[in-house]
Chain A
Amino acid sequence: MDHDAYIDAASAMVGLTIAGEYRPGVARFLAVAAEMAAILEAVPLDDAELALAPVYRPPFPKAEHA
């Protein structure tokens, strides 16, 4: 994986400038993240396995609490 090309493309997409001195560190942590993602890819997930919004609870209007 060419991390430099990915850093260029993805950082431009999110509007984040990554200085040259930070690049080796960022590339190293992207590589760690990719290793973690590969471990997740190996998990046999069922389509029913969903937990995409850990907490999303719209508040009730105050009157309904009374």
Chain B
Amino acid sequence: MLDPMDDPTSPWSSAAQIAAAVRGGHVSAVEITRTALERVQSHNPRINAYTDLTAGRALREAAAIDRAQAAGQPLGPLAGVPFAVKNLFDVKGLPTRAGARINRELVPAERDATLISRMNQAGAVLLGTLNMGEYAYDFTGENAHDGPCRNPHDLSRMSGGSSSGCGAATAAGLAPISLGSDTNGSLRVPASLCGVFSLKPTYGRLSRAGTFPFVDSLDHLGPMARSTQDLALAYDAMQGPDPADHACADLPPRASDPMAGIRGLKIAVLDGWFHDNADDLARDAVAAAAAAFAGVTKVSVASFDAAEAARAAAYLVTNSESAGFHLDRLRGRIKDYDPDTRDRFLAGALLPAAWASRAQRVRHWGLQQALELFRSYDLLLAPATPCAAPLSGSKTLRLAGQDLALRPNLGLLSQPFSSIGLPVVTAPIFAPDTLPIGVQLIAAPWREDLTLRAAAFLETSETAAAYPPTVIPPAPARARLH
């Protein structure tokens, strides 16, 4: 019997394995796609990660790859690899719902988002769109219109949000690569709670053109995957300038080299805010990563004293800027909002402008504090979430002896870094059959390469791994590859 890990149609096949099998003619892209679509149809009802399947399109894309393969044409690095996108990405022919009831009335998108086009150019096949918190204002994965996205490791628990469908689909073997967004932690929180890898690149690295905005000052897009290698493949396929996004940097793509190792890199574990607001499980995950790093390089302890202020700045920029963006809809369509985002949007529309403008200045100040830290260290290490996945429907979070409102606080460890635009990989650290939690690997602006190298090291040292959830039955191995 074949090991399912060697079977490119297995739910746990990596993107790299699938692309190699398709390029080598061992399996057709159509077979990969058909199996992936059947799997989504079979497992999604329990997890609720997908909101639209683009089956016809996926099979057409896959057939085109098979024709190119048969003709001996060069295939891209993601040839035949299924992927899915948070439903705030424009997909030609679909209204861009952004988790909202109101957006279902939009005319269908005329073209794909830039990052979807780039994934397609690399050979990846779009399976569909994924559940998310309404207008991305969410850390829980709950959604009043589409229903909650459930955690594949424990269906009674939150997936995390707002890129809830990304975390759940990738963890459950329903999309080896997914694309989401992160304004305050919306990639890192679900990656942590669902036990997968994510990359939130530097602000301005990846084009946001063709996605429904949340907070222009803070919105980032990025991939999730079950391995660092897959994360890097997707990231490399999507890099490059794009005049259609005013924040996208004019930088040429730079291939990642995640296997370059970490020897000689100076790493610091962040204390203070990142220790005080984490439970024992989160602290243990950081300690495990630090111990692994310490085997080959210098690991110290450092403080990022601007964390709380950077987080507060992100809160106010988010609240004020998003409410300003939504003001017409808040005036005319308030009853159509999710009750769990509604009151926060309304409050944001009433904030004094002076608060928002000071928040922007504090972001700048916080960035200078972080740059000072990067004079001494190459990488910073912190928990991604204060705890593992809370039970669905929870409203409070107990931290440092205090009961806090869960919705605004589940991202309090991720917000300080998106606030100042730093690149962060989230790496999952947990044992099979336990609840996952992730650590953040944080680097100076534009040094995504270091975060990927650190994550790859944690994987090869068997410290980090995206273990499959037991709730998904293993796929039967195919009798024979052809």
Please report A residues at the B interface, Cβ cutoff 8 Å: 6-7, 10-11, 14-19, 22, 25-30, 32-33, 35-37, 39-43, 45, 49-52, 54-55, 57
Contact = CB atoms under 8 A, between A and B. Distances in A.
B331 A52 contact: no
A32 B350 contact: no
B308 interface: yes
B344 A45 contact: no
Sorted from nearest, which 9 A-B pairs have the closest CB atoms? A25-B343, A29-B347, A51-B364, A36-B312, A10-B350, A39-B312, A54-B217, A37-B355, A36-B315
Interface string B336-357: 0000001110111111100101
A32 B360 contact: no
Interface string B352-393: 100101111111110000000000000000000000000000
B346 A22 contact: yes
Nearest to B344: A29
A55 B343 contact: no
A27 B309 CA distance: 22
Given A16-B349, A50-B364, A52-B357, A40 B405 contact: no
A39 B308 contact: yes
A32 B315 contact: yes
A35 B315 CA distance: 10
B408 A51 contact: no
A30 B350 contact: yes
A19 B331 CA distance: 11
Given A16-B330, A32-B408, A55-B247, A45 B358 contact: yes
Interface in B292-310: 306, 308-309
A46 to B, nearest CB: 8
A50 to B, nearest CB: 6
Nearest to B314: A36
Contacts of A19: 334
A49 B312 contact: no
Given A11-B349, A29-B346, 8 more contacts: A6-B350, A27-B347, A35-B312, A37-B316, A43-B365, A50-B361, A51-B363, A54-B247
Contacts of A37: 312, 316, 352, 355, 358
B346 A26 contact: yes
Contacts of B477: none
Nearest to A39: B312
A43 B309 contact: yes
A52 B360 contact: yes
Contact of A57 (B246, B306, B312, B359): B246
26 contacts: A15-B331, A16-B346, A16-B350, A19-B334, A22-B343, A25-B346, A26-B350, A27-B347, A29-B343, A30-B351, A32-B315, A32-B347, A32-B405, A33-B315, A33-B316, A37-B358, A40-B309, A43-B309, A43-B365, A49-B364, A51-B360, A51-B361, A51-B363, A52-B360, A54-B217, A54-B247
A17 B368 CA distance: 40
Given A16-B330, A43-B365, A49-B361, A54 B312 contact: no
Contact of A45 (B216, B346, B365): B365
